[in-house]
Chain A
Amino acid sequence: MTKSIISIFVFFSVFSSAELLLEITQGSDNPINLGIYEISSQGNEDTLIKNIIQNDLIRTGEIKFIEGVDIVPLPENDQEFNYSGWKLLGLDYVVIPSIKSPDKNSIEYRYRVFDVSRKREVRSSTVFGLSSNLRQVGHYASDGIYEAITGIEGVASTKLLYVNEISFRDEKSYRLMVSDVDGYNERTLLNSPEPIISPAWSPKGDKVAYVSFETGIANVYIQDLATGDRESVLEQNTQISSPAWSPDGKYLSLTLYQDGNAEIYILRLRDKTLTRLTNHYSIDTEAIWSPRGNKILFTSGRSGSPQLYEISLRGLRSKPKRITFEGTYNAKGSYLPDANGNIFVHRAKSGSFHIALKYKKENFIRILTEARLDESPSVAPNGNMVVYAISEENKAKLAILSLNGARFVLPSSQGVVREPAWSGFVR
């Protein structure tokens, strides 16, 4: 067995200048109209946070901003809000923010949400944060506002994990990156001269797993975000890939190649016990856990072409059930958080690869994207959005689509960005 020595150099990550930018390409038809008041005395901080909230909410595809709410004066007394004035402006909801700075390093951002048609205040919340991290304060507030309006938890404060490939002359380097969902606050978790693929979040968001080729052969590593500590999950002579965490964080599903062919195993992390899940001469890989952790969805070539199958973890020897039947390529599946459907990569008759959705109750698939090589879909924890990679002519960028009709692209200013993985809720 070859055991190469890897020298590891740990550094505190530096904020990258190569941040991703927002570009909205499509909006929704029937949005909720929202107005946010300006806080005149707190110019810069208020404007920054307000912009962040607006961008976050516009990206959901469900909310439209109406300018000019400030012409409706606010009352001295909390009992006399001018609901009819707001209604005249066409507003469905109104947000009144206020900012306090208890000291020069910290900030208290309070927001009150009013339902105009029901004429009542529906939420009054305060976010405590650092003045140096106003973006995150804005994301927390926008998630709270979104929840107050729709009843659904917002995902602006969640994170994206992805791979960035940079070519410099003939040398390639690979970076595992984490950023906010709007592409800002990009930081490097791993910098390697060898390929990195298949990044995955732990359920709590404190660790990541990924495949690295740093020893010359694919192996799966787990890395702690805060400390940078990392370890390979198993030491084997044969390659290991495709990690996915169980929802309780105790197990990792993996693809092992011990008998020369890709087969799915479950690794119990506590004692590294392996349980074999598939046994077929065709390819079985890309396992992912159902939200409740009682089923595994995977890609198998057993029908002669890659298709999605689901296997129950209750009871041994349960037979995999085929999920997809349309077309000759359906792979890299994942579950919607309520498990009532699957998102996956589908090859159309034209030969193009698209992101597709199949609801359990429907016997047809819905094609969600239209570029030539769309790949690696990952679903937001509230199930309303999907991040994926658009690949064309050796370039790749990330895009997010909302199942409500909005879509935007996160262009990269440096290299290729691919294989996004959406974190769970972090708030």
Chain B
Amino acid sequence: MVITLNKQIISKLTLLIIVIAAASCSSVRVTNESVVEEGVRGVTISKKAPETQAILANATVYFEYDSSRLTSKSIQTLRGLISVLQNNRSLNIVLEGHADERGTREYNLALGQRRAESVAAYLLSNGVSRNQLKTISYGEERPAALGSNNASWAKNRRVEIK
């Protein structure tokens, strides 16, 4: 079997696969292919200056595993916040939900969001204005404590109020 093929110029992003089915006499599969030379261009994002936060209302509340329910201790912490927010209607806070490292990253992102929403719902039901609140989640991406143990996990299942 004779195959003639023009000499190929192999360039960037050339995808050329020629499959020549075995003609006559034999069952040999004959193929010719050129390697794809894929170029890759990287991008760098520079660090953003941190935004100033409302220090007045800083607090953190903690949660049980796979739960977004407020504990009685969390409610105590949040009570102190309500009057601060009601007396300063121009004060805007961010409720930042977090999860521990167990479980999948996307599910934990959703879980962190539920925790932030759970805190928001409590504040709203106690007269805080929705305009003062923003909820976001970092899932398991920003742990407060490192380590794969119960003590670290407990510190990471949280909503940071900023």
Residues of A that sit less than 8 Å from B by CB:
4, 6-13, 102, 106, 120-130, 133, 136-137, 140, 144, 148, 178, 187-195, 197-198, 211-214, 216-218, 223, 225-228, 230, 239, 241-242, 255, 257, 260-262, 283, 285-286, 299, 301, 305-306, 329, 331-332, 345, 347, 351, 353, 372-373, 375-376, 391-394, 419, 426-427
Task: Report the interface size for chain B: residues with CB under 8 A from the other chain.
Answer: 57
Which residues of the partner chain B approach A144 to less than 8 Å between Cβ atoms?
A: 31
Residue B144 is within 8 A (CB to CB) of chain A in the complex: no
Tell me the smallest distance from the CB of B35 to a CB of chain A, in Å. Answer: 4
Tell me the smallest distance from the CB of A17 to a CB of chain B, in Å. Answer: 16
* Nearest A-chain residue to B146, judged by Cβ: A394
Residue B155 is within 8 A (CB to CB) of chain A in the complex: no
Which residues of the partner chain A approach B104 to less than 8 Å between Cβ atoms?
A: 286, 299, 306, 331-332, 345, 375-376
* Interface pairs (5), CB distance under 8 Å: A126-B32, A178-B40, A190-B44, A230-B43, A329-B103
4 A-B pairs with the lowest CB-CB distances in the bound complex, closest first: A228-B41, A262-B110, A129-B35, A195-B141
Given contacts A124-B30, A283-B114, whether A394 and B147 have CB atoms under 8 Å apart is yes
* Contact partner, A133, options B1, B29, B37, B106, Cβ 8 Å: B37
- Scoring B28, B47, B135, B148 by chain A CB atoms within 10 A of each residue's CB, the highest score goes to B28
* Contact partner, B110, options A191, A285, A353, Cβ 8 Å: A285
Given A125-B33, A126-B5, A226-B40, output 4 extra A-B contacts at Cβ < 8 Å.
Answer: A226-B39, A286-B104, A306-B104, A376-B104
* B42 x A189 contact (CB < 8 A): yes
* Contact partner, B33, options A106, A195, A427, Cβ 8 Å: A427
Given contacts A133-B35, A353-B102, whether A10 and B43 have CB atoms under 8 Å apart is yes
* B110 x A283 contact (CB < 8 A): yes
Given contacts A121-B26, A329-B103, A391-B101, whether A128 and B33 have CB atoms under 8 Å apart is yes
Given contacts A128-B10, A213-B141, A239-B136, whether A191 and B44 have CB atoms under 8 Å apart is yes
* Nearest A-chain residue to B31, judged by Cβ: A125
Which residues of the partner chain B approach A120 to less than 8 Å between Cβ atoms?
A: 26-28
Given contacts A12-B41, A283-B110, whether A127 and B35 have CB atoms under 8 Å apart is yes
Q: How far is it, in angstroms, between the C-alpha of A211 and the C-alpha of B114 when the chains are bound? A: 19
Which residues of the partner chain A approach B139 to less than 8 Å between Cβ atoms?
A: 197
Which residues of the partner chain A approach B13 to less than 8 Å between Cβ atoms?
A: 226
Tell me the smallest distance from the CB of A53 to a CB of chain B, in Å. Answer: 14
Which residues of the partner chain B approach A194 to less than 8 Å between Cβ atoms?
A: 45
Residues of B that sit less than 8 Å from A by CB:
1, 5, 7-8, 10, 12-13, 17, 26-48, 51, 66, 101-107, 109-111, 113-114, 117, 120, 135-139, 141-142, 146-148
Q: How far is it, in angstroms, between the C-alpha of A421 and the C-alpha of B117 when the chains are bound? A: 31
* A419 x B114 contact (CB < 8 A): no
* Contact partner, A4, options B28, B48, B109, B117, Cβ 8 Å: B48
Which residues of the partner chain A approach B46 to less than 8 Å between Cβ atoms?
A: 6-7, 9, 193
* Contact partner, A190, options B5, B39, B42, B109, Cβ 8 Å: B42
* A373 x B106 contact (CB < 8 A): no
Tell me the smallest distance from the CB of A242 to a CB of chain B, in Å. Answer: 5
Chain A residues touching B, majority SS = strand
* Contact partner, B136, options A122, A192, A217, Cβ 8 Å: A217
Q: How far is it, in angstroms, between the C-alpha of A144 and the C-alpha of B46 when the chains are bound? A: 43
* B41 x A125 contact (CB < 8 A): no
Which residues of the partner chain B approach A127 to less than 8 Å between Cβ atoms?
A: 32-35
* A239 x B103 contact (CB < 8 A): no
* Contact partner, B107, options A178, A191, A195, A331, Cβ 8 Å: A331
Which residues of the partner chain A approach B136 to less than 8 Å between Cβ atoms?
A: 216-218, 239
Given contacts A128-B33, A353-B102, A373-B148, whether A332 and B43 have CB atoms under 8 Å apart is no
* A372 x B142 contact (CB < 8 A): no
* B105 x A124 contact (CB < 8 A): no
* A122 x B28 contact (CB < 8 A): yes
Given contacts A239-B136, A286-B104, A306-B107, whether A191 and B32 have CB atoms under 8 Å apart is no
Tell me the smallest distance from the CB of A191 to a CB of chain B, in Å. Answer: 4
Q: How far is it, in angstroms, between the C-alpha of A260 and the C-alpha of B134 when the chains are bound? A: 10
Which residues of the partner chain B approach A4 to less than 8 Å between Cβ atoms?
A: 48
* B41 x A124 contact (CB < 8 A): no
* B7 x A102 contact (CB < 8 A): yes
* Nearest B-chain residue to A132, judged by Cβ: B37
Which residues of the partner chain B approach A217 to less than 8 Å between Cβ atoms?
A: 136
- Scoring B5, B8, B40, B48 by chain A CB atoms within 10 A of each residue's CB, the highest score goes to B40
Which residues of the partner chain A approach B7 to less than 8 Å between Cβ atoms?
A: 102
Q: How far is it, in angstroms, between the C-alpha of A214 and the C-alpha of B35 when the chains are bound? A: 35
